[in-house]
Amino acid sequence: MFAIRLTPRPADDSTLVLAVGPAGADALPEPLAGEVTALLSSADDPARPGAVQLLPRPARQPARVLLAGIGAGDEAGWRAAGAAIIRTVRADEPVGIALGPDVPAEGLCGLAEGLWLGGYRFRDAPRGPRTAEVTIAVTGAHPYEQSLETARVTAAATWLARDLANMPASVKNPAWFAEQIVAAAATRPGLTATVREPAQLAAEGFGGILAVGGGSASPPRLLELSWRPESASRHVVLVGKGITFDTGGISIKTRDGMKLMKKDMSGAAAVVAATLGAADLGLGVRITALAPLAENAVSGSAYRPGDVITQYDGTTTESTNSDAEGRLVLADALAYAVAELRPDVVLDLATLTGANAVALGKRTAALYSYDDELAAALTAAGAAAGESMWRLPLPDDYREYLRSDIADRHSSPTRGAGSVVAALFLSEFLGDRRDRWAHLDMSAPSWAEQDDGDLSVGATGWGTRTLLRWLVSA
């Protein structure tokens, strides 16, 4: 990730960036003030978050002035401005952003997040990660260093989640994913990572993970990443779906439906990245991230439609569609969390159903919970972080759709609504923690088809930012 530094004043040789709010740009020395005022008066809504006006001043200092709209000047407005600025400047162009005296700390945090998130590029891209030289000029005494650090940790965690999801599945098999996180955990005190391999998964009864992972030449894993600060009184478990590629298995997907399925571990990426970020911020809450990792492949050893699987809690699931694999691996991890970890709160994040996008479009995750307070806190954290979710119901009268003639339940009912019945399926594994659980179906917002504000084309890292915000007060 490129560096952003705070300085007392902008360097002479950099492009000068000024924020434009409802009252125009901050007071400027002549002749700049006249030029800027003239440009702003002819521009169409220059304060709109993300709007950028360029003022070239050849042979003068500064040689370029960039006017960035911050809307009402709230965190979201500054974040949009940061993303627009980094997309407008060239990679080798030094940028000096001049902040007025009254910018709140959240504004600086949003600005830095926008710069870093909008400036993301996949680490293995042919051109390599983006370089940029950004300084932010601030005046007087200020609490900005802490805000910049929070933004740095949030952005770095999001970059990690994006890198993991963008990585081709030929590289990113379950063992590789687990190794990345074991290595990351080793660099930070207070973090531990353990990895279960198939023999241990079998000995402990993780039947869902083994069934789904059984068709692949790359065997499954269960990754458990734990952050345990001494002072912690609460324990949060975060479960993330980690299907490193989803062919659909024997109930194979269409070629179009399969194209992007390397991203089917985006939930796992978000929960491990947020846990590593929480450690970097030194948050005082105990966190266990669980990532059931498997490749849903097609082969002679793949599980079949009609198979009955014994899950971690000893109950059985009839699987008539091997493309409903995510809920099988999540069920094991959730049941294990409840039985062995006794958490205060359990969240799971999963690219679980195509129906998420049908219900809510490309940018919004579906949120499910029996806990109104938890649902409200997650929604608020998402709104503050710039990630949107919408709560959908868990109607008890749809539960009968899960009924099976030969097992305790059925994994892929054809009645009800796809995302809703998937959530109801998961709710069966929460035991006495059902009222302390939330599920986020994040299939749709996990991917951006093009650069869009703080999202760069490809994996979005959705959920990482929301989790970090929420964990601060969890």
Report the residue number, 62 or 267, with the smaller CB distance to Zn ion: 267
- Cα–chain center distance at 52: 27
Binding mask 323-362 for ligand BES (x = CB under 6 A): xxxx------------------------xxxxx-------
Q: How far is CA 36 from CA 30, 54, 78, 435, in A?
A: 10, 10, 20, 56
The correct pick among 280, 323, 332, 348 for binding Mn ion (CB under 5 A) is 323
Residue of this chain nearest to Mn ion (CB atom)? 323
Q: Determine if 295 is a binding residue for Zn ion (CB under 5 A).
A: no
Give the x-and-dash track for 261-280 against ligand BES (CB under 6 A). ---x----------------
Q: Is 246 in the site for Mn ion (CB under 5 A)?
A: yes
Task: Determine whether 87 is exposed, middle or buried from the number of CB atoms within 10 Å of its CB (0-12, 13-18, 19+).
Answer: middle
**Contacted by 321, from ligand BES, Zn ion, Mn ion, none: CB < 5 to 8 Å by type:** ligand BES
How far apart are CB 104 and ligand BES at their closest, in Å?
37
428 binds ligand BES (CB under 6 A): no
Burial of residue 365 (number of CB atoms within 10 Å: 0-12, 13-18, 19+): buried
> Whose Cβ is closer to Mn ion: residue 264's or residue 387's?
264
Span interacting with ligand BES, options 317-325, 387-395, 431-439, 448-456, rule CB under 6 A: 317-325
Distances (CA, A) of 164 to 185, 358, 369: 15, 26, 28
Give the Cα separation of 87 and 31 in Å (integer): 27
Comparing CB distances to Zn ion, the nearer of 232 and 258 is 258
Helix 174-186 crosses helix 266-281 at what angle (to 10 degrees)? 0
**Cα gap 50→426, rounded to integer Å:** 39
Distance, CA of 136 to CA of 82 (rounded, Å):
11
CA distance 443 to 350: 7
Q: Which residues of 118-132 are buried (b: 16+ CB within 10 A; e: fewer)?
A: bbbbbeeeeeebbeb
CB 316 → ligand BES: shortest distance, Å? Answer: 18
Q: Are 312 and 204 in contact (CB under 8 A)?
A: yes
State the DSSP code for 253. Answer: P
Please state the closest distance from residue 266 (CB atom) to ligand BES, in A. Answer: 8
CB of 412 to ligand BES, least distance (A): 4
Asked if 433 is an active-site residue, the reply is no
Q: Is 326 in the site for Zn ion (CB under 5 A)?
A: yes
Residue 127 C-alpha from the chain's centroid: 24
Q: Which residues contact 131 (CB under 8 A, 6 or more apart)?
A: 2, 91, 92
The DSSP call for residue 171 is T
Q: Is 244 in the site for ligand BES (CB under 6 A)?
A: no
Q: Residues 75, 246, 348, 454: which binds Zn ion (CB under 5 A)?
A: 246
Partner from Mn ion, ligand BES, Zn ion, none binding residue 443, C-beta < 5-8 Å depending on class: ligand BES
Task: Answer yes or no: 253 catalytic.
Answer: yes
Q: Is 264 in the site for Zn ion (CB under 5 A)?
A: yes
- The DSSP-derived string for 339-400 is III--SEEEEEE---THHHHHH-SSEEEEEES-HHHHHHHHHHHHHHT-EEEE----GGGGG
Q: Which of 253, 363, 399, 434 is catalytic?
A: 253
Tell me whether residue 227 or residue 401 sits nearer to ligand BES (CB atom). Answer: 401
Total residues contacting ligand BES (rule CB under 6 A)?
A: 15
CA-CA distance, 430 to 435, in Å (whole number)? 8
Q: Which of the following is catalytic: 327, 433, 436, 465? A: 327
CB of 205 to Mn ion, least distance (A): 23
**# residues contacting Mn ion (CB under 5 A):** 3
221 CB-near residues (< 8 Å, 6+ apart) = 174, 175, 177, 178, 195, 196, 197, 293, 294
Of 133 and 307, CB closest to Zn ion: 307
Hey, which residues between 194 and 233 contact Zn ion (CB under 5 A)?
none
E strand or H helix that includes residue 293: strand 286-296
412 lies in the binding site for ligand BES (CB under 6 A): yes
Residue nearer to ligand BES on the CB measure, 192 or 320: 320
Binding site for ligand BES (CB under 6 A): 246, 264, 321, 323-326, 351-355, 412, 418, 443
Binding site for Mn ion (CB under 5 A): 246, 323, 325
Binding site for Zn ion (CB under 5 A): 243, 246, 264, 326
Known catalytic residues are 253, 327
